[in-house]
Homo-oligomer: A and B are copies of this chain.
């Protein structure tokens, strides 16, 4: 009899898991439960359809439902799992009762943190997540005059830009002194904030949400903040991602300090034959060992593949992360790896800094863009510990990938300052910005020594 693997969740982690099981054990019986109407679409694309950069929602769908049927993966749509019994090795499925498993993979994902203020029941509060809801909200955006985006996290950044591109009077409120403060440094965000102001966005930093205010019809009309009332037809709530841990918690599966499930390098939880992947787990940072939760779809997918491979009898490890990241923001693209100065300072980690204002092509080649690179290194050894960038867009993502891998491999500023680079006018400058930043960092460290 084939082994049966049950997967809870149909996002990147859940489907990555399903593929991982099938690759390791082609005969396995794989059942995926999702509360959604769909699987295999890209929720990450939603803000760009709202912003008009992507012309329609349809293209966010990756594969039809038949593709999963063909792959032997049995997806149950709009189906909630309400409990896990790790002793009986069953899950309770709404409408199906107790379903037994040989292996279980929890990929329940994340949800927005509850804003925790009065007025949460009003209509007009948009939590960007589900594609069917997004299609409906897109029509609402067309008729919206003014909107407030609550918190300048990664999704908030994208929605601020999207709403501004749609011609909506857009306000951003955030309790921190600058945008994306949990990840980025203020000098990296400065040009982004300037470009939002150019787009007409109103930025309210150091500003706390106090309440959603409604009209007689139960529709939001404003938000109350520590800095006063801001009128709004629409409120986009992009509070931080919290793990959807209710099922795991109720089942007695061990959670970590972030509230997410603790897993080992094989993505195994504390319960026998139970694995987990994606935004419901926490993964240690490669340098600080601090548990991180709420990474990207790419991380979720890779974790899912690991969990699925192991659940299917294979052997695959998923190790600590160095977190390359990047995103368009206003008219710029920002990115980095590991942490920046703000986080290093908050954690009490000393660093040497190397900075450079470089360019993406030869200075005379049309389309040349600025690329600002900031590298942080451990004093003494000059081992790279973090990086942040802001630029026109060319090569930011690839440099972030590289710098994360450079941190993982213990490369130093010396190593980066002696790195070779492609020089071809249309695609690369004589001096690679990373090399210049590293060279400046080495010089800086000598001055200090």
A375-386 interface code vs B (CB 8 A; 1 in, 0 out): 000000000000
Known: A420-B321, A426-B53. A405 touches B406 (CB 8 A): yes
Instruction: Determine the distance from Cα of A363 to Cα of B58 in the docked complex, in whole angstroms.
Output: 12
Question: B48, A420: Cβ atoms under 8 Å?
Answer: no
Closest chain B residue to A328 by CB distance? B426
**Which residues of chain B are near A422, meaning CB under 8 Å?**
296, 298, 324-326, 335, 397, 400-401
A414-432 interface code vs B (CB 8 A; 1 in, 0 out): 0100111111111110111
Closest chain B residue to A59 by CB distance? B364
Instruction: Report which of B48, B53, B396, B420 forms a contact with A322, defined as CB distance below 8 A.
Output: B420
Instruction: Report which of B326, B364, B415, B427 forms a contact with A54, defined as CB distance below 8 A.
Output: B364
Instruction: Determine the distance from Cα of A158 to Cα of B381 in the docked complex, in whole angstroms.
Output: 43
- The yes or no answer to A395 lying at the interface (CB within 8 A) is yes
Known: A53-B365, A325-B424, A335-B427. 9 other contacts (CB 8 A): A48-B426, A54-B366, A59-B364, A327-B426, A394-B394, A396-B427, A398-B428, A401-B432, A401-B434
Give the number of times this chain occurs in the complex, counting copies: 2
**Number of A residues contacting the other chain (C-beta, 8 Å)?**
67
Instruction: Determine the distance from Cα of A62 to Cα of B364 in the docked complex, in whole angstroms.
Output: 9
Question: A418, B319: Cβ atoms under 8 Å?
Answer: yes
Closest chain B residue to A154 by CB distance? B424
- The yes or no answer to A301 lying at the interface (CB within 8 A) is yes
Question: A42, B404: Cβ atoms under 8 Å?
Answer: no
Instruction: Determine the distance from Cα of A127 to Cα of B402 in the docked complex, in whole angstroms.
Output: 38
Chain A contacts with B in 275-305, Cβ cutoff 8 A: 296-299, 301-302
Instruction: Report which of B318, B365, B404, B405 forms a contact with A45, defined as CB distance below 8 A.
Output: B365
**Which residues of chain B are near A420, meaning CB under 8 Å?**
298-299, 302, 321-324, 401, 404-405
Instruction: Determine the distance from Cα of A399 to Cα of B427 in the docked complex, in whole angstroms.
Output: 12
**Which residues of chain B are near A419, meaning CB under 8 Å?**
401, 404-405, 408
**Which residues of chain B are near A415, meaning CB under 8 Å?**
405, 409
Question: B298, A421: Cβ atoms under 8 Å?
Answer: yes
Closest chain B residue to A316 by CB distance? B418
Instruction: Report which of B326, B364, B397, B409 forms a contact with A409, defined as CB distance below 8 A.
Output: B409
- The yes or no answer to A333 lying at the interface (CB within 8 A) is yes
A435 shortest CB reach to chain B, Å = 9
Instruction: Determine the distance from Cα of A432 to Cα of B422 in the docked complex, in whole angstroms.
Output: 20
Instruction: Determine the distance from Cα of A48 to Cα of B364 in the docked complex, in whole angstroms.
Output: 10
Instruction: Determine the distance from Cα of A62 to Cα of B429 in the docked complex, in whole angstroms.
Output: 13
**Which residues of chain B are near A98, meaning CB under 8 Å?**
none
Instruction: Report which of B297, B362, B408 forms a contact with A430, defined as CB distance below 8 A.
Output: B297
Question: B406, A362: Cβ atoms under 8 Å?
Answer: no
A88 shortest CB reach to chain B, Å = 35
**Which residues of chain B are near A12, meaning CB under 8 Å?**
430
- The yes or no answer to A28 lying at the interface (CB within 8 A) is no
A254 shortest CB reach to chain B, Å = 25
**Which residues of chain B are near A326, meaning CB under 8 Å?**
422, 424, 427-428
A19-63 interface code vs B (CB 8 A; 1 in, 0 out): 000000000000000000000001011001000011100011010
- The yes or no answer to A393 lying at the interface (CB within 8 A) is yes
Instruction: Determine the distance from Cα of A60 to Cα of B430 in the docked complex, in whole angstroms.
Output: 13
Instruction: Determine the distance from Cα of A323 to Cα of B421 in the docked complex, in whole angstroms.
Output: 8
Question: A364, B421: Cβ atoms under 8 Å?
Answer: no
- The yes or no answer to A411 lying at the interface (CB within 8 A) is yes
**Which residues of chain B are near A327, meaning CB under 8 Å?**
424, 426-427
Known: A333-B427, A401-B402, A422-B400. A362 touches B42 (CB 8 A): yes
Instruction: Determine the distance from Cα of A426 to Cα of B48 in the docked complex, in whole angstroms.
Output: 8
Listed by A's residue number, 13 A-B pairs whose Cβ atoms lie within 8 Å are A44-B425, A45-B425, A54-B366, A317-B418, A326-B427, A326-B428, A333-B427, A394-B394, A395-B397, A397-B427, A398-B428, A405-B419, A409-B415
